[in-house]
Amino acid sequence: MSFNLYAPLRRIALTALIGLTAVSAAKAQLPTSVDIDLVPGAISTQLDVRLRANTNTFTEVISSIVFSVRWVDTSPATLAGVGSSAWCPAPNAAFQPSATAMVTTGGFKYRRYSFVATEQIGTIGDDGGCGLSGQSLPANTWVTVFTINVSNNTGCTTFNIVNDTYTGANNSNYFISLNGNQTLVGTIEPTAVDLGTCTADCNGTVGGTATIDGCGVCSGGTTGITPRGPASATISYAGTPYCSNAGSVTPTFSGTTGGTYSSTAGLSIVGATGAVNTGTSTPGSYTVTYTVAAYFACPQFQTTAPITITANPSATISYPGTPLCSTGGTASVNRTGTAGGTYSSTAGLSINSGSGAVTLGTSTPGSYTVTYTVAAAGGCAQFQTTAPITVTAAPNAGTLAGTPQGICVGGTTTYTVSGNSASGTWGTDNASVATVVGGVVTGVGAGTTNITYTVAGTGGCTSAIASRSVTVTAAPNAGTLAGTPQGICVGGTTTYTVSGNSASGTWGTDNASVATVVGGVVTGVGAGTTNITYTVAGTGGCTSAIASRSVTVTAAPNAGTLAGTPQGICVGGRPRTGERQQRIGHGAPITHRYGCGRCGHGRRRGNHEHHVHGRSTGGCTSAIASRW
């Protein structure tokens, strides 16, 4: 504080001064208020502080004053801590403010100025007051009372005397006290002081940097408008083509910002940034257009860049039905997903690399893994997937052999197998015709069927079957021979008939020297017994069927020759009668009967017979010899 109470030349005691101040205060008509204002100084590096006493002129003691100057903290400007005053020059003590240290806070810089005095500003003296002539605050008139020097100011800096949150919290609001009275009400003029290069720009801002840009627009500075010129830009998608699994890709950009990106349907693009979502885009080639809209005098601008999205390869393959038999021809692959790949496998599998088709017949039986490969392309990495396939060797039932192939019902034949790949089972197509056990075929009923040898199929192969036909023939039936007599005489005949025969046959005899037969008529040839046969020829492995019936042939009897004399006898002679047996040759015995003719009373003459009878046997009639 600068009271100057003890200046060497002061002749008035402190008590007297205090009394004088009180008396002056009592006499003075104080202004109703004192306003303060900050204005530019005489030179560009000075600020002038002005006071205005309202209503009444004031010439007495400005007991104290406090005010704060504020400017933005982005300015490098600094304010002097002690100013000067032509209105009340040093060493006069009536008005000599000094400053506290500069404070930076809340985006601003502050410097607080204050002083306390006891000298009247109108006092004439060399160590008090305000100089030889003294000073006053004329009523309703602005008076410059203090000058603050400004240093380090570049650009344009705005300075204000303020009451704000900071000053209020730190006892730095403006106030003034006159003649020791309480603070008067005063107003801070709202004007600000711009020091530095403060020519108004196109926006009307003093010291501003706004200019008319290339599109004819006032921009920059405090306008908040970015200066622009005719748009010019380049865009590119440096990594194109991109795989659909690449995620989000952004363009390489240079030039005028603020445009929008667009493309034809199918490309998932962010209009503001040009970022492309490859995963949700439809694979294909696109042209991205970057458009800067027309802006005042600048026309619309467009530039383009190509981008290609490639579908990330994805596929599955399979060989339905695996394992597959080597006799199955060609096995086709079942593929879903990305086409255009190639198929491969380890050696032994005959595979078409383009289609994946496997030729089973030329493949070595075994298990394989088929690989489907889609080459790296369009930004996508190589893709591979696999599928198993097994080729099984077809079974071989071999060849059946065996004779005869024709057998009779109840008959057998044996079939054998050769060249088979594995053991199999015997079978028949029709068990009512023939059965087979271990290769032995037995006829059951008339007909033809196949005898089979089956080697079971595995691994997708059907069973292999070798077959050989067999014909089973029903046994012939010669039927039954009938006919009587069964005994005939040499040269005689009898007729035999056949019934119940299965087919026509042939007649025969076991001994043609005894009997012969033609069409069932049996003729005796010589004495004896033989069998007359009826034969139905056997076929298809069956023996012939023979029906037989015996026949006995007897030699005809011979009565011989009668002889005897006299051939005449007297009437009355006795007739002689009788019989005898005689065997002639190898024939049957012959009975001789003889007798005289009948005589009447021994006196008649008549013819007399002598009969010799051979009896009838073996179908032969009796033989008779006679003599008169």
Mean pLDDT of the chain: 86
Per the model's pLDDT, the better-predicted residue between 406 and 276 turns out to be 276
pLDDT tier at 125 (50, 70, 90 boundaries)?
low
Q: What is the DSSP string of 464-510?
A: EEEEEEEEEEPPP---EEE-S-SEEETT-EEE-EEES-SS--EEEES
pLDDT above 60 for 608:
no
Residue 427, H or E segment: strand 425-428
pLDDT tier at 574 (50, 70, 90 boundaries)?
low
Quote the Cα angle for 435-439-443, to 5°.
Answer: 30
**Quick one: 359 exposed, middle or buried, by C-beta within 10 A (0-12, 13-18, 19+)?**
middle
**Class (C level, CATH) for 315-392:** mainly beta
- Our CA dihedral for 88, 90, 93, 95, rounded to 10 degrees, sits at 40
The C-alpha atoms of residue 256 and residue 162 are separated, in whole angstroms, by 43
Give Cα 239 to chain centroid, integer Å: 28
The average pLDDT across 304-320 equals: 97
The C-alpha atoms of residue 557 and residue 622 are separated, in whole angstroms, by 6
The C-alpha atoms of residue 479 and residue 488 are separated, in whole angstroms, by 23
Which CATH architecture does the domain made up of 233-310 adopt? Sandwich (2.60)
The confidence score (pLDDT) of residue 543 equals 87
Strand partners, 466: 453
pLDDT digits (tens, 9 = 90+) for 224-265: 898 889 999 999 999 999 999 999 999 999 999 999 999 999
pLDDT tier at 349 (50, 70, 90 boundaries)?
very high
**Quick one: 564 exposed, middle or buried, by C-beta within 10 A (0-12, 13-18, 19+)?**
exposed
The CATH code of domain 399-473 reads 2.60.40.1080
Which CATH architecture does the domain made up of 14-196 adopt? Sandwich (2.60)
- Of 238-247, 464-473, 610-619, the one with minimum mean pLDDT is 610-619
The average pLDDT across 310-315 equals: 96
Cβ-contact 51, 130 below 8 angstroms:
no
The C-alpha atoms of residue 279 and residue 159 are separated, in whole angstroms, by 58
Count of beta carbons in the 10 Å neighbourhood of residue 223 = 19
Alpha-carbon distances of 517 from 482, 499, 531, rounded to whole Å: 14, 17, 10
The average pLDDT across 77-100 equals: 84
pLDDT tier at 578 (50, 70, 90 boundaries)?
low
pTM beyond 0.75: no
First-residue to last-residue Cα distance in the chain:
226
Give Cα 178 to chain centroid, integer Å: 95
> What is the amino acid identity at position 16?
A
The average pLDDT across 165-180 equals: 94
The average pLDDT across 448-473 equals: 93
For the chain, the farthest-separated pair of C-alpha atoms sits apart, in whole angstroms, at 260
pLDDT above 90 for 364:
yes
The confidence score (pLDDT) of residue 581 equals 57
Taking CB atoms within 8 Å and a gap of at least 24, the contacts of 20-24 are: 21/61, 21/118, 21/179, 21/180, 22/180, 24/60, 24/61, 24/120, 24/179
Count of all residues that appear for the chain in the document: 628
pLDDT above 50 for 26:
no
Cβ-contact 175, 114 below 8 angstroms:
no
pLDDT tier at 156 (50, 70, 90 boundaries)?
confident
Extents of the domains making up the chain: 14-196, 233-310, 315-392, 399-473, 480-554, 577-627
The confidence score (pLDDT) of residue 226 equals 87
The average pLDDT across 137-164 equals: 94
User: Could you give the 3-state DSSP secondary structure of residue 73?
Assistant: coil
233-310 matches 480-554 in fold: yes
Which residue in this structure is represented by tokens 């060849």? 399
The confidence score (pLDDT) of residue 151 equals 95
Q: How many CA atoms lie within 13 A of 139 on its CB side?
A: 7
Alpha-carbon distances of 32 from 53, 175, 182, 496, rounded to whole Å: 8, 14, 12, 183
The confidence score (pLDDT) of residue 4 equals 34
- Our CA dihedral for 321, 327, 332, 333, rounded to 10 degrees, sits at 50
Count of beta carbons in the 10 Å neighbourhood of residue 81 = 14
The confidence score (pLDDT) of residue 502 equals 80
Tell me the backbone φ, ψ of residue 225, rounded to 5 degrees.
-105, 130
Q: Which two tokens stand for residue 510?
A: 């076991």
pLDDT above 60 for 16:
no
The average pLDDT across 20-30 equals: 53
Which CATH architecture does the domain made up of 480-554 adopt? Sandwich (2.60)
pLDDT above 50 for 97:
yes
- Of 2-11, 70-79, 357-366, 542-551, the one with minimum mean pLDDT is 2-11
The confidence score (pLDDT) of residue 582 equals 55
The C-alpha atoms of residue 195 and residue 41 are separated, in whole angstroms, by 10
pLDDT above 50 for 549:
yes
The confidence score (pLDDT) of residue 182 equals 74
